[in-house]
Amino acid sequence: MPNPITLDGSSLTLADVIAVARYGATVRLSPSAKKQMAASRTWVERAVDDHAVVYGVTTGFGAFQSVSVEPQKLRELQRNLILSHCAGTGDPMPEEVVRAMMILRANALAKGNSGIRVSTVQLLLDMLNTGVHPVVPVQGSVGASGDLAPLSHMAAVMIGEGTAYVKGKVVSGARALQSAGLQPVVLEAKEGIALNNGTQAMTGFGVLALDDAEHLALVADIAGAMSLESVKGKSAPFDARVHNARPHKGQSQSAANIRTMIRGSALVDCLDSDTLTKVQDSYSIRCIPQVHGASRDAMTIVRSVLETEINSATDNPLIFPDDDVAISAGNFHGQPVALVMDYLGLAAAELGNISERRTAKLMDHHHSYGLPPFLADNGGLQSGLMIAQYTAAALVSENKTLMHPASGDSIPTSANQEDHVSMGTIAARHARAIIANVTRILAIELLCASQALEYRLQEPGNGTRSVLAIVRSVVHKLQGDRALSEDIEHIAGLIGSRRLSIGPG
């Protein structure tokens, strides 16, 4: 079990979020966070006692901002907010995304700008630590005022409403809390809007998607190296001098990975009857560092934005007790995340685009330098790996529709009070779907490159041999035709397990 993650609102890392979302790390509040939260809570209680007009505390929400609410109805106001905003639809979010959303919301509240009680946030963490995972529909957020519907479904369980997963079963929110020995909270002034204003659904999707995409960038280099050797490619395009002359970091990293994989190879730069007239390789081989590297650099930008977002206060209004003020503003707007989620989807999709082109090259005996057509032992009688490339092509084409920028769209809500929205959660969901497709596109390239390498008499590089052995531990060499779907899924699972790495040089 990973060490507990301590929340202070300022020092959470992406690795911490992954540890909680995927590996079950527990979470606690730091003493400094409790102090910060108590100060802003005191400010809210004083504002209520003074009958101050504070948006979302003593008024209605959105277009109802001008409606004052009597003090005796402030609890009802917050409860109504959560229940009325539970309007999501579609399939439930994956459990890991819900867990990410929960820790991210708690960390935002821990900054002490939200006016929520420590005990209310502690309940959210207790749910996380005991495996009470709210059922959160995946659709319904426009990304401003943040992820209202998803976060409301999360908060509903905290008040004993909604539904939650407990040990894989869906039960009522009240029963879920009871099973964990927890009591539902009665929300006080400001607490409902503190819980459901923010970008934590889109950011939760985003953190997990980035983690997967960064690994795919590594897998793409591995698969590319195997295809390079399969077609008896040239090593010159990966020379460090080339990349020092155009010093993009991602490009240099990808080139270095390829050099490590092919070190000791008798296939690269091979001069024989197959390659006698070859002067240079096609772009999908020769430009691996430039294409993969650009995606790597895009992911670096995405990482920077997410590192800022996960330690940000994103609800409204924000309380600044030291200055004795509450400021109504727009930190809930998801545009920073929305833009980079579209960028992440595009960066991941490009890894798939060029991978499919390398797979197609392995299938085509006019461009594979001595390999049999479609890598079939008895072409004509057998189809070999022909249709695996069709599947890769279908996934690439599907990704082209998913790459349409969600952040380029907006639609007004709340009677034109909320007249520009980010669509950030849609962008993040699309990025996740693209990454799932690219995982299988790369699995197909690994399947085909492994088969191709075994037709060669020369030895591949040290790193390539290591990866080939791992692939062969889950998928046997094709000998005659067989159904390929399970092979693709086994290798996709291998990618997901993170067992593939740049082999020894």
pLDDT per residue as tens, the chain (505 positions): 668 999 999 999 999 999 999 999 999 999 999 999 999 999 999 988 888 888 878 887 766 777 787 888 889 989 999 999 999 999 999 999 999 999 999 999 999 999 999 999 999 999 999 999 999 999 999 999 889 999 999 999 999 999 999 999 999 999 999 999 999 999 999 999 999 999 999 999 999 999 999 999 999 999 999 999 999 999 999 999 999 999 999 999 999 999 999 999 999 999 998 888 899 999 999 999 999 999 999 999 999 999 999 999 999 999 999 999 999 999 999 999 999 999 999 999 999 999 999 999 999 999 999 999 999 999 999 999 999 999 999 999 999 999 999 999 999 988 888 889 999 999 999 999 999 999 999 999 999 999 999 999 999 999 999 999 999 999 999 999 999 999 999 999 999 999 999 865 4
Q: Hey, what domains does the chain have and what are their CATH numbers?
A: 5-198 (1.10.275.10), 206-313+346-411+421-496 (1.20.200.10)
At 321, which amino acid appears? Answer: P
Instruction: Say if residues 353 and 167 touch (Cβ distance below 8 Å).
Output: no
pLDDT of residue 1: 64
- Residue-wise pLDDT for 452-492, tens only, equals 999 999 999 999 999 999 999 999 999 999 999 999 999 99
Residue 486 confidence (pLDDT): 98
Q: Give the start-end residues of each E strand in 381-456.
A: none
Contacts of 280 (CB under 8 A, 6+ apart): 234, 237, 286
CA 280/CA 57 separation, integer angstroms:
68
What is the reported pLDDT for 321? Answer: 95
Reference 231, options 69, 382, 369, 388; nearest CA is 369
pTM: 0.96
Angle at 16 between CA 10 and CA 17, to 5 degrees: 95
The secondary structure of 260-300 as a DSSP string is HHHTT-SSTT--STTTTT--S--HHHHTHHHHHHHHHHHHH
Burial of 2 (0-12, 13-18, 19+ CB in 10 A): middle
Of 23, 55, 369, 455, which residue is the catalytic one? Answer: 55
The interaxial angle of helices 424-453 and 335-363, nearest 10 deg, is 20
Gap between the Cα atoms of 22 and 20, Å rounded: 6
Burial class (CB in 10 A: 0-12, 13-18, 19+), 442: buried
Catalytic (active site) residue 55: yes
* Rounded Cα–Cα distance for residues 435 and 390 (Å): 18
